[in-house]
């Protein structure tokens, strides 16, 4: 391409030079026919030169077009998955477990009231007499004394929803897969047992020394949850909970009796590790997460609310109202730009290729 431009320039210069000579000869009365023929030959040759450099220029134009199209696609096409870190405080959290989970410890539920609702099987301490094994649809309400949650076991695939009430109480709902747990009671609590909190078939106050044990189990109804309700006096910390789904919305009914979903976020910070992008969310900001695989490294439930930290890969992470969402997953161009090891690899490949290409005449 450079050579063609140089030839075209030289032909133009030669034609201009011959034009000056022919003009001088014409003015002086001399013969300028030979110069005119040479001028015409220069112009013909100039016009016959390829203007786009022939096939090489066409190939270069094609390569440039392909590169621009690829760069445009890389700018707008998002990666199929992204690695994220999320820390949040919420009023409600809904997860589905991707692996079985067991916890043993001591979560103080105080004596303000603990309820077990809808569990298929519940076993009471022998101090309560003959009514020890309770059938499905029986509820237990424990008032007073000292109550501790000492064990929880969830099967893989279980759905767990934790909500904080306005009065400071918490509801832990579980459904879909089996769950079991254990409470320890001490002091002199009052037990109310019945088909509902309004109708009791047993109401008794008993002193437990040593502590008594209440076991509860449920096979996991696909739509009807079993519920543990309590007003905790301490903090429950669950670690390394493998999850396959996270929901940060709750269904509410407005004054017009219309139902809609609201974000449960009080505050949150999201970091997309593939692009080093961070974003902070305030109360009520929507966050949409579709988990591929991940783990809640720490989940805390206590008087300060519900807080958790999540690390994992997601197929989608977006913020904003339903009709104006912003996808936080990186584009292909952003991903490549922030992959330092990938950049180092291709730099090394380019260097070696240039070295071999430059030395091909020496070695070959």
Residue 282 is part of which domain span? 83-330
Q: Is the pLDDT of residue 363 over 60?
A: no
Per-range mean pLDDT, top range of 138-147, 181-190, 258-267, 321-330: 181-190
Give percent of the chain with pLDDT exceeding 70: 80
Give the least confident one: 16-20, 73-77, 156-160, 169-173.
Answer: 73-77
40-45: which pairs have CB atoms within 8 A and are 24 or more residues apart?
42/11, 42/12, 42/14, 42/15, 42/18, 43/11, 43/15, 45/11
Q: What is the pLDDT of residue 239?
A: 95
User: Do the domain assignments include residue 246?
Assistant: yes
The answer to whether residues 72 and 145 belong to one domain is no
62 and 87 housed in the same domain: no
The answer on 236 and 282 residing in a single domain is yes
Q: Does 335 reside within a domain?
A: no
- Per-residue pLDDT, averaged over 172-201, amounts to 84
Asked if the structure places residue 292 within a domain, the reply is yes
Question: Is position 359 within any domain?
Answer: no
- Confidence at residue 258, expressed as pLDDT on a 0 to 100 scale: 76
Same domain for 62 and 159, yes or no, is no
Residues 175, 31 share a domain? no
Is 347 domain-assigned? no
Residues 147 and 59 reside in one and the same domain: no
User: Is 41 in the same domain as 111?
Assistant: no
Distance CA 190, CA 212 (A): 13
- pLDDT exceeds cutoff 60 at 98: yes
Distance of CA 234 to the CA centre of its chain: 31
- Mean pLDDT lowest for which of 264-278, 306-320, 345-359? 345-359
Question: Does residue 100 sit in the same domain as residue 153?
Answer: yes
- For residues 71 and 112, state if they share a domain: no
Give 58-68 pLDDT, tens digit per residue.
Answer: 666 677 777 67
346, part of any domain? no
Q: How many domains does the chain have?
A: 2
**Last residue of a domain, which of 76, 99, 128?**
76
With respect to residue 294, please indicate whether it lies within any of the assigned structural domains.
Answer: yes
- The reply to whether 125 and 231 lie within a common domain is yes
Q: Residue 341: CB partners within 8 Å, gap ≥ 6?
A: none
- For 289-358, give the DSSP string: EEEEEEEEEEEEEETTEEEEEEEEEEEEEEES-GGG-EE-SPBHHHHHHH-HHHHHHHHHHHHHHHHHHH
Higher pLDDT, 294 or 38: 294
Answer yes or no: do 232 and 170 share one domain. yes
- Whether residue 157 sits in one domain with residue 299: yes
* Confidence class for position 356, pLDDT limits 50, 70, 90: low
pLDDT value for 90: 96
**167 falls within a domain:** yes
């Amino acid at each position: 391409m450079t050579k063609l431009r140089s030839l075209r320039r030289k032909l133009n210069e030669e034609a201009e030079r011959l034009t000056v000579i022919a003009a001088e000869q014409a003015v002086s009365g001399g013969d300028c026919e030979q110069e005119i023929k040479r001028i015409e030959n220069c112009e013909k040759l100039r016009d016959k030169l390829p203007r786009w450099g022939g096939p090489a220029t066409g190939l270069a134009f094609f390569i440039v077009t392909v590169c621009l199209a690829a760069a445009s696609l890389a700018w707008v096409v998002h990666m199929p998955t992204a690695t994220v870190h999320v820390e949040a405080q919420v009023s409600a959290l809904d997860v589905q477990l991707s692996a079985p989970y067991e916890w043993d410890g001591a979560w103080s539920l105080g004596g303000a009231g603990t309820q077990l609702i809808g569990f298929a099987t519940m076993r009471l301490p022998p101090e309560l007499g003959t009514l020890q094994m309770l059938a499905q649809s029986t509820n237990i309400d424990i008032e007073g004394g000292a109550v501790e949650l000492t064990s929880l076991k969830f099967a893989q695939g279980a759905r767990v929803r934790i909500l904080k009430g306005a009065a400071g109480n918490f509801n832990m709902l579980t459904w879909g897969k089996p769950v079991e747990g254990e409470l320890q009671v001490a002091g002199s609590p009052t037990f109310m047992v019945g088909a509902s909190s309004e109708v009791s078939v047993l109401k008794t106050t008993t002193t437990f020394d040593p502590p008594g044990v209440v076991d509860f189990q449920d096979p996991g109804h696909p739509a009807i949850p079993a519920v543990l309700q309590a007003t905790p006096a301490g903090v429950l910390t669950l670690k390394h909970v493998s999850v396959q789904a996270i929901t940060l919305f709750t269904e509410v009914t407005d004054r017009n009796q219309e139902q809609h979903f609201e974000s449960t976020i009080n505050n949150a910070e999201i970091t997309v590790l593939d692009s080093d992008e961070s974003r902070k969310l305030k109360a009520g900001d929507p966050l949409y997460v579709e988990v591929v695989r991940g783990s809640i490294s720490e989940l805390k439930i206590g008087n300060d609310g519900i807080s958790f930290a999540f690390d994992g890969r997601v197929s989608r992470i977006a913020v904003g109202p339903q009709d104006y969402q912003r996808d936080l997953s990186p584009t292909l161009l952003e991903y490549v730009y922030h992959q330092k090891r990938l950049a180092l690899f291709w730099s090394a490949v380019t260097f070696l290729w240039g070295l071999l290409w430059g030395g091909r005449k020496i070695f070959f």
